[in-house]
Amino acid sequence: MSEIAKIELGGKVFEFPVITGTENEKAIDISNLRQDTGYITLDTGYKNTGATTSAITFLDGEEGILKYRGYGIEELAEKATFIEVAYLLIYGNLPTQDQLNQFRDSITKHTLVHEDMKQFFEAYPAKAHPMGVLASMVCSLSTFYPESLDPHRSAEAKNLTIHRLIAKLPTLAAWAYKNSTRHPFMYPKNEFDYCKNFLYMMFAMPTEDFNVDPVVVDALNKLLILHADHEQNCSTSTVRIVGSSQANLYATISAGISALWGPLHGGANQEVIEMLEKIHNDGGDVDKWVAKAKDKDDSFRLMGFGHRVYKNFDPRAKIIKKACDDILEKLGVNDPLLAIAKRLEQVALEDEYFKARNLYPNVDFYSGIIYKAIGIPTEMFTVMFALGRLPGWIAQWKEMTENKEPIGRPRQIYTGEVLRTYVPIEKR
- Active-site positions read 307, 364
Phi-psi region of 46 (alpha: psi -120 to 50; beta: other; left: phi over 0): left
**Alpha-carbon Rg for the chain in angstroms:** 23
End-to-end CA separation in angstroms for the chain: 64
Rounded Cα distance, 46 and 43, in Å: 5
Residue whose CB is nearest to ligand ACO in the complex, by number: 306
**Closest alpha carbon to 268 in 371, 133, 128:** 371
Residue 7 CA to chain centroid, in angstroms?
36
Nearer to ligand ACO by C-beta: 265 or 280?
A: 265
Is 378 strand, coil or helix? helix
Rounded Cα distance, 41 and 284, in Å: 47
DSSP structure string for 126-181: TT--HHHHHHHHHHHHHHH-GGGG-TT--HHHHHHHHHHHHHHHHHHHHHHHHHHH
Binding site for ligand ACO (CB under 6 A): 264-266, 268, 293, 301-308, 357, 359, 362-364
In 10 A of CB 326, how many CB atoms?
15
For the sheet containing 4-9, what is the strand order? 4-9, 12-20, 26-28
In 10 A of CB 50, how many CB atoms?
16
**Closest alpha carbon to 106 in 175, 165, 185, 189:** 165
Residue 174 has, within 13 A of its CA and on its CB side, a CA count of 26
- Indicate the residue type of 12: K
Nearer to ligand ACO by C-beta: 150 or 298?
A: 298
Nearer to ligand ACO by C-beta: 167 or 276?
A: 276
What lies within 8 Å, CB to CB, of 27 at 6+ separation is 18, 19, 21, 50
Rounded Cα distance, 227 and 96, in Å: 23
